[in-house]
Amino acid sequence: MIPVDPRYLPPSAMEVPRFAGIATTMRLPLRNVADPQGAEIGILGVPWDGGTTNRPGARHGPRALRDLSTMIRMVNQATRAAPFHTARIADFGDATVNLTDVGQTMTLVEDQFSALRTAGVTPLMMGGDHLLSLPALRAMAKDGALGFVHFDAHTDLFDSYFGGMRLTHGTPFRRAVEEGLIDPQRMIQIGIRGTTADGSDRAFAAAQGIRIITIEEFRQRSLADVMAEVRTRVGSRPTYLSFDIDGIDPAFAPGTGTPEIGGFTPFEAQCMIRALDGLDIVAADLVEVAPPFDATGMTAWIGVSIMFEILCVTANAVARRAGRKPVICEDIPDPGV
């Protein structure tokens, strides 16, 4: 028997239409960062795109993701995972940010992630642009550098833009490695492609020992083989998972600021996340959904579908850390109609 707290279960899509009601993430309960007790996983929106060097709009990501997220139902048909039964998951609303002050936003976001971490809540960030992973990492790596699994079209390992700006969405992971937040030996980037300004990011990666799997290498190997390497590289210690929606091919996910053709299919993304089950995920993010460029809403829908997969493997990690067994569909008594 599973001791599920019914306050953390969304309504069934077979009872309440999925477009009805206030749009919290996946229709989960709404909580506040100032009072996080009880939740085990906290979804925190960060509506900010002040680090963007090209087309803006990721500030509107959390709103659009929440809108589409209410189409998510209870269980994962492919893996049978029942994340809302496995861990107590809540929507913590949107972080406080300062739209026109990068530095203050870095501090504000770090503080809010620290509050969740202190309360034992595993965070899943909805961006916002990719610079926001930096304050999240600053909060989550307080006990030591983390492993880092990174799905993206871009390395985000450049030093600076526009004559010395060191805090942009093209630089967060250079900063994170420099600050010791990520262990470069436990860092792996998958899906890198497109044109580039120069080779300085690759040179940094090579010097630090960061592993880069380009989309071309990915397509020449099997997905299973690549993901085995990922698991081996990050190992069993605490790991941060970061998914930039521009890792997905822009035919599927046009709603992002810097699209690059030739990316992952959504199905591949689902399979890759599922292959991370078993890792000790301590934080994750899904970033760079830019709704003004998402005419059909399908980018947000892919985003929340990936978030759901992330929640499945993160809930399992939470359960394992708590000594519980993950719940699957078949464990749920009396399935509804």
Q: Name residues contacting a copy of itself, limited to 71-100 (CB under 8 A).
A: 71-78, 91, 93-94, 96-100
Site string for a copy of itself, 143-182 (x = CB under 8 A): ---------------xxxxxxxx-xx-x------------
Site string for a copy of itself, 26-55 (x = CB under 8 A): ----x--------------x-x-xxxxxxx
Do residues 278 and 314 touch, judged by C-beta distance below 8 A?
Answer: no
The tokens describing 315, both together, are 């809930």
Window 269 to 288, contacts with a copy of itself (CB under 8 A): 270
Interacting residues of 272 by C-beta distance below 8 A, sequence separation 6+? 151, 190, 223, 226, 227, 230, 264
Q: What whole-number distance in Å separates Cα of residue 164 and Cα of residue 35?
A: 39
Using DSSP bridges, classify how beta strands 122-126 and 41-45 pair: parallel, antiparallel or unpaired: parallel
Number of residues in contact with a copy of itself under rule CB under 8 A: 106
| Cα 96 to the center of its chain, rounded Å | 19
Candidate list 41, 44, 59, 191; residue touching a copy of itself; CB under 8 A: 59
Do residues 84 and 10 touch, judged by C-beta distance below 8 A?
Answer: yes
Nearest residue (CB) to a copy of itself, 16 versus 322: 16
Quote the Cα angle for 156-160-163, to 5°: 150
Candidate list 194, 211, 280, 320; residue touching a copy of itself; CB under 8 A: 194
Report which residue type is found at 159.
D
Nearest residue (CB) to a copy of itself, 143 versus 198: 198
Q: Give yes or no for residue 308 binding a copy of itself (CB under 8 A).
A: yes
Q: Give yes or no for residue 242 binding a copy of itself (CB under 8 A).
A: no
Stretch that binds a copy of itself, among 187-195, 225-233, 278-286, 318-326 (CB under 8 A): 187-195
Nearest residue (CB) to a copy of itself, 261 versus 322: 261
Looking at the DSSP bridge assignments, the partners of residue 317 are none
Window 105 to 144, contacts with a copy of itself (CB under 8 A): none
Phi, psi values for residue 179, rounded to 5°: -85, 0
Candidate list 4, 18, 111, 120; residue touching a copy of itself; CB under 8 A: 18
10 Å Cβ neighbour count for 262?
14
Candidate list 199, 207, 232, 323; residue touching a copy of itself; CB under 8 A: 199
The tokens describing 197, both together, are 């300004």
Question: What is the nearest approach in angstroms of a copy of itself to the Cβ of residue 161?
Answer: 5
Question: What is the nearest approach in angstroms of a copy of itself to the Cβ of residue 281?
Answer: 20
- Selection from 298, 331, 293, 284 nearest residue 113 by Cα: 284
Stretch that binds a copy of itself, among 132-140, 228-236, 237-245, 290-298 (CB under 8 A): 290-298
Q: What whole-number distance in Å separates Cα of residue 162 and Cα of residue 260?
A: 21
Which residue reads 């595993």 in tokens? 122
Question: What is the nearest approach in angstroms of a copy of itself to the Cβ of residue 140?
Answer: 22
